[in-house]
Amino acid sequence: ETASAPNFIRNQIRDEIQAGRSDKIVTRFPPEPNGFLHVGHAKSICLNFGLAEQFGGDCHLRFDDTNPAKEEQAYIDAIKEDVSWLGFEWAGEVRYASDYFDQLYAWAQHLIREGKAYVDDLSPDEIREYRGTLTEPGRPSPWRERSVEENLDLLERMRAGEFNEGGKVLRAKIDMASPNINLRDPILYRIRHAHHHQTGDKWKIYPSYDFAHGQSDAIEGVTHSICTLEFEDHRPLYEWFLDNLPVPAKPRQIEFARLNMNYTLTSKRKLKLLVDEGIVDGWDDPRMPTISGMRRRGYTPASVRKFCEMIGVTRADGGLVDIAMLYHAIRSDLEDNAPRAMCVLNPLKVVLTNVAEGHEEVYEVPGHPAREGMGLRRVPFTRELYIDREDFMEEPPKKFFRLAPGQEVRLRNSYVIRCDEVVKDDSGEVAELRCSVDFDTLGKNPEGRKVKGVIHWVSATHAVPMEVRLYDNLFLVEQPDKDKDADFLEHLNPESLKVCQAMGEPSLADAAPESRFQFERVGYFCADRHACRDGKLVFNRTVGLKDSWAK
Ligand code: ATP
Ligand code: MG
Ligand code: MG
């Protein structure tokens, strides 16, 4: 078993509870429905839902839907499915920041009445310029001293749709000279004449992330508002709102380091580009680091959760997690839990010349070598078989313990055979091998000689044809988006998908969508959840057999 890594937030909450400073904890997972969730989100899901689970609290699923132009119902549906698939349950109904738009608007009016917010007519570019830089303080907007009445009136008319997008914003009046730029009169509302997936055409103004987030937490009674480190500089603003509004609760923001993983992008925007450009077959392409992509690839919920335990939770930013850890998590799960089967990826016909036509034997073979509960599978043996082309070499190097002219090999679960003749087609390619069986080798070693190699095979008479998709990393370099301005598409792996027309043993014929197998000597595979539902037999390679993760 792999130990879990430290999780400082879990330790902190445990201490709070032991000291009697925390009672029931409430967390939330707050995705913006502008794309599918990726493996980085899985870290946040496991953290937020995991803490609630562990400490008997609640975790809310809340859509942070303050930017309607980029959001869609389809993303909402996908996100709900991903969270459920990971095995988590949100407390109560799904929530939306947009549920609180009326309250947020009332709080904006409250700030205006207190002289703590104003409507600004500067353009977005001017606002940026007036805001100053890290080394230079900002300058006040000429509209900063508007009266309460004028501000209330203008906000109402912004809401009613009287002004164009970009024409006005509502800003908090905090401190244009603050060393923290987030406190230099941050924007509370923008004008957007956009249709919203939840609120329809009711609103012409939408709250900013900063104005919506902490207040939504407060409304929901969130105790620990956990987010990634980019928001550390926003914490003073998060607290300013809570201190200056009559909110019903005071949640606390805690930041942790986001997940970055080698050979992988963890940005919805960039993943969306791969989808929009047709580089992958949709958000759930098995090469995508999305939760739905990992699902289709063959990851189990348990393996993703285990991976998130393995990587731990810290405040140390900048590290790259090795994707080999993710592969290790799924491999060890499937090693224990996936039934075995034989499947030949690149079939080469073998005719056993001393087996009679029509002859058939059936071996009863364990579904799993260590788990009797998985029962037996029936593996037929006949005169004509398929083996993998890779298991034959006409002129083998010295230690090639597989099949070669005049050389012997054991067929897994069956006899030792010898290759007597190589039949070629017109182009000189090996078309067929003619071999003979040593019938005295079933379940025992041959007399007087050692046969080292064991290869997998299927009966040609009974084999089921199937498509097997071999996936590899989408990118050739560890950090495809390392250089901000460079095009990460330049680093795409041209061999991230290879398709084989394979032959599988008959036990695979009615594999259910999403059932997982170890193809012996080959790797772990999962029946494609879409293709197999349409009556085709398609298997996706989840991961190879060899573990390269150094513990
Ligand atoms: P992206 O940059 O990919 O669009 P995001 O942070 O904008 O991601 P949200 O939908 O806002 O996406 O994220 C929902 C939650 O998931 C947030 O709390 C966010 O901090 C967390 N999250 C997003 N990416 C990661 C990551 N790589 N590692 C850990 N948590 C993440
Ligand atoms: Mg976001
Ligand atoms: Mg983002």
Distances in Å between the Cα of 273 and the Cα atoms of 78, 137, 481 are 18, 37, 13
Kindly report, residue by residue over 429-453, the tens digit of the pLDDT: 999 999 999 999 999 999 899 999 9
DSSP3 helix / strand / coil % (the chain, rounded to 5): 30, 25, 45
Does the annotation list 2 as a binding residue?
Answer: no
Cα 526 to averaged position of ligand 3 atoms, centre (Å): 31
The domains of the chain are located at: 8-256, 268-337+466-504+510-543, 341-463
Ligand nearest to the CA of 63: 1
Pocket, ligand 1, Cβ cutoff 6 A: 30-32, 40-41, 43-44, 64, 227-228, 258-259, 266-269
The model carries a pTM of 0.96
Among protein residues, the one whose CA lies closest to atom 23 of ligand 1: 41
pLDDT at residue number 550: 67
pLDDT at residue number 22: 84
Ligand nearest to the CA of 67: 2
Cα 446 to averaged position of ligand 3 atoms, centre (Å): 64
pLDDT at residue number 264: 97
pLDDT at residue number 551: 59
Residue 258 CA: which ligand 1 atom is closest?
28
Q: Is the pLDDT of residue 1 over 70?
A: no
Cα 312 to averaged position of ligand 2 atoms, centre (Å): 22
Does the annotation list 534 as a binding residue?
Answer: no
Bridge partners of residue 100, in order along the sequence? none
pLDDT at residue number 547: 81
How far apart (Å, rounded) are the C-alpha atoms in residues 50 and 309?
10
Could you give phi then psi for residue 109, rounded to 5 degrees? -60, -40
And the tokens for 256?
């942790």
Cα 269 to averaged position of ligand 3 atoms, centre (Å): 8
Residue 45 CA: which ligand 1 atom is closest?
16
Kindly report, residue by residue over 247-301, the tens digit of the pLDDT: 999 999 999 999 999 999 999 999 999 999 999 999 999 999 999 999 999 999 9
pLDDT at residue number 3: 66
Does the annotation list 209 as a binding residue?
Answer: yes
CA quadruple 349, 354, 360, 366: dihedral, nearest 10:
-70
**Mean pLDDT score across all residues of the chain:** 96
Residue 259 CA: which ligand 1 atom is closest?
28
Does the annotation list 228 as a binding residue?
Answer: yes
CA atoms within 13 A on the CB side of 514: 11
Residue 270 CA: which ligand 1 atom is closest?
3
Distances in Å between the Cα of 348 and the Cα atoms of 164, 204, 249, 405, 462 are 69, 66, 69, 14, 15
Yes or no: say if 546 and 328 are a contact pair by the CB < 8 Å rule: no
Ligand nearest to the CA of 34: 1
And the tokens for 498?
């290879």
Q: Where are the alpha helices (DSSP H) in 86-196?
A: 101-113, 124-130, 148-160
CA quadruple 171, 174, 179, 180: dihedral, nearest 10:
-50
- CATH homologous superfamily of domain 341-463? Ribosomal Protein L25; Chain P (2.40.240.10)
Kindly report, residue by residue over 298-341, the tens digit of the pLDDT: 999 999 999 999 999 999 987 899 999 999 999 999 999 999 99
Q: Which residues, chain by chain, have CB under 5 Å from ion ligand 2?
A: 32
pLDDT at residue number 227: 98
Q: Is the pLDDT of residue 485 over 90?
A: no
Ligand nearest to the CA of 226: 1
Does the annotation list 33 as a binding residue?
Answer: yes
Annotated active-site positions, please? 32, 258, 268
Domain 8-256 adopts which CATH fold?
Rossmann fold (3.40.50)
pLDDT at residue number 2: 58
Model confidence at 410, pLDDT cuts 50, 70, 90, reads: very high
Mutate which of 80, 228, 313 for ligand 1? The one with the most ligand atoms within 8 Å of its CB, which is 228
Q: Please state, for a pLDDT cut of 70, what percent of the chain lies above it.
A: 99
Bridge partners of residue 7, in order along the sequence? 313
pLDDT at residue number 4: 78
Cα 31 to averaged position of ligand 3 atoms, centre (Å): 10
Handedness of CA 519, 474, 41, 309 (dihedral sign): positive
Among protein residues, the one whose CA lies closest to atom 16 of ligand 1: 41
Pick the CATH number of 268-337+466-504+510-543 from 1.10.3720.10, 2.60.120.560, 1.10.10.10, 1.10.1160.10: 1.10.1160.10
Does the annotation list 34 as a binding residue?
Answer: yes
How far apart (Å, rounded) are the C-alpha atoms in residues 520 and 228?
41
Cα 40 to averaged position of ligand 1 atoms, centre (Å): 7
Bridge pairing between strands 347-352 and 430-438 = parallel
